[in-house]
Amino acid sequence: MKGKDQNQQNQAKAQKHTESKAVEGLLPKIKSPEDVKKLPIGELPKLASEIREVLLKTISKNGGHLSPNMGTVELTIALHRVFNSPRDKILFDTGHQSYTHKLLTGRYDKFHTLRQPGGISGFTDPRESEHDHFITGHASPVICQAIGMAIARDERREDYEIVAVIGDGALTGGVALEGLNYGGYAGKKFILVLNDNRMSYEETVGGLQAYNNRLSFGNRIFESPIYHQVRGDIHLLMDNVPREREELHAAVRRLREAALSVLTPGIVFEELGYRYLGPIDGHNIPLLIETFQRAKLMKGPVLVHVITTKGKGVPFAESSSDKHGKYHGLGKFDPESGEIIKNPGALPLYFEAFGNKLIELARKDKRIYALTAAMPIGSGLLPFSKEFPERFIDVGIAEQSEVTIASGLAKGGMRPVVAVHSSFLKRAIDEVIYEIALQNLPVVFALNNSGLVDDNATQQGPFDIVYMRMVPNMVAMAPANEHEVEAMLEFALSWEKGPSSIRYPKASITGLPKPTPDDLKIELGKGKIEVEYGEDVAIIAIGSMVNDAIKAAEMLKSKGINATVVNARFIKPLDEELIVDVASRCGRVVTVEEGHALGGFGSGVLEVLAHNNLQVPTKVLAIPDRFFDHGKRADMLKSIGLSPEGIADAAERLIKG
């Protein structure tokens, strides 16, 4: 025992020594980017090492985006070494790779609060720091943001640099490609940094990525001084030949195109109007600094192509060993082994129940296709992709393409299932309406992360009830538990008269005993009474709120208040007959939904009551008309009355008037 105690004491001393060394390191002294500039360049790799230690330690405790941040440490150090933030604007697309940026811009002391309630965000947020310029969280907008800022800068005759950092995965998004196209045409000076790690959530797909790969393997000439001299001379000629000398200008342009097609691997970007630099090693700090300094001196838009390793420095997270993006964004994990820490007794997630059922149905029906927009893990489709690779389509970060390809599949006689986060499908609502619903095509939408999630406003999914309700021909459902997920998916794939959707939260399944086949029978537009203690009040709930409504009814019963709880199941069409029946008998109604209050499920119930001239006191419990910052889902729901206690309290107040 004595030896064991001595070992523990030695370990404690070693840990204390390590922590002391960390405190005495470079990173705690960095209070602003100016401090990065003061360090000898030879110290910057040490700073990068310390940053990786802090990232690993913090993310393993708090969860967050591990791999994207590990891969951009040196890149971010070089950016802050060369540019003068916040005067120079450094923009991060998506913002999930901005943790190093936070550490270098005065947020080291608060970094332990990352993604915690009241703490700093897992994305950029200008409310947090003057070094952040947009609240981020969705991929692909940064090029257009940079163009707009450049136009505004020049209009005001101001002088500062604009640097936009975008990943190769985000570059597959439509708005990014549109920005890439217009940026060269507009000709405004900004620097676009293409952070190319060949990964989005998992491996990046598409022809553009194949082109980027050819650039990274084929560009050895970039290291030659002659290359830069010849290339610079060509651009000098182009800049100085008068436009009115049309023949001479055309001849120089032909010379430029011929020479650059040989000398410049990034000729596609050059043809779009960008000065292309790269590809370069994104972990070589001196080379990054030199390249960014060169980019500052150039006119017009410049594209710097940087090759990085996603998950750099963490063997289990590096892209070579994490092909499916397990460590892209995650919860708590063991920083030594990478083993993900699960709560004791944790149940599977809704999307896992969905994915398993989809495989079962696809074994029976070869028409079933599954589509994702770079989210095979987060949408529960990874097992499907392995068993049916020929019927699995990953379009990259391009929800509009995902939905439109599904329309073509459905038109061709297939049964496509579009698995997508609720917060991301908003980007493709035009296609949902006109390519799917207007054609009345049998496409199934599986909406994960509906309602509130443990993340910032861009990731929340409260709006899908509203936008699916407004779409003609759409059948919209929400399961109360994992058994209903399976039953609703089966119903949706049997419904061939038009599109349908199923929404469920980013939460564990309930683990309720499996209902009887009759209980699980899904009929179009039909709800179900779950408990009927009496007729003091009717609680009509949808989806994730049904189980809380049942618990609320039990609380009310202990107070002598007898409630009837309805599991609506359908958002559209609503079970008008059932709603009218329970409202008439009970005389008071509480509706409960994990969705946006304006135009949501409760609004639909009020419409039914009004249509049937039923004037009964009604309380709508829903997510209020505001955005939610990051926090714990359970805490956020409780704060707005979406908990058993909140539902019971609302019902009791309604009864007492």
- What is the rounded CA–CA span in Å between residue 557 and residue 561? 5
Of the listed 202, 270, 318, 399, which one is catalytic? 399
- Backbone φ and ψ for 48, nearest 5 degrees, come out as -60, -40
Distance, CA of 174 to CA of 431 (rounded, Å)? 13
Amino acid, single-letter form, for residue 336: E
- 3-state SS class at 128: coil
Is 585 catalytic? The answer is no
Helices (H), 451-575: 464-469, 482-494, 546-558
Q: Is 427 part of the annotated catalytic residue set? A: yes
Per-residue HEC secondary structure of 196-214 comes to ECCECCCECCCHHHHHHHH
CA dihedral 631, 633, 638, 639 (to 10 degrees): 30
Continuous segment of H or E residues that includes residue 370: strand 368-372
Assign 420 to helix, strand or coil: strand
Number of other residues whose CB lies within 10 A of the CB of residue 40: 7
CB distance 473 to 440 below 8 Å: yes
**Which residues lie below 8 Å from residue 485, measured CB to CB, with a gap of 6+?**
350, 353, 354, 357, 479, 502, 504, 509
CB-based contacts of 513, cutoff 8 Å, min separation 6: none
Q: Which is the catalytic residue, given 107, 427, 572, 588? A: 427
DSSP states of 254-302: HHHHHHHHHH-TTHHHHHTTPEEEEEEETT-HHHHHHHHHHHHHS-S-E
Q: Which of 81, 115, 310, 633 is catalytic?
A: 310
Cα–Cα distances (Å) from 353 to 393, 424, 478, 486, 529, in that order, read: 20, 21, 14, 7, 24
Sheet containing strand 528-532, edge to edge, reads: 528-532, 563-567, 537-541, 589-596, 618-623
Which residues are identified as catalytic?
A: 310, 399, 427
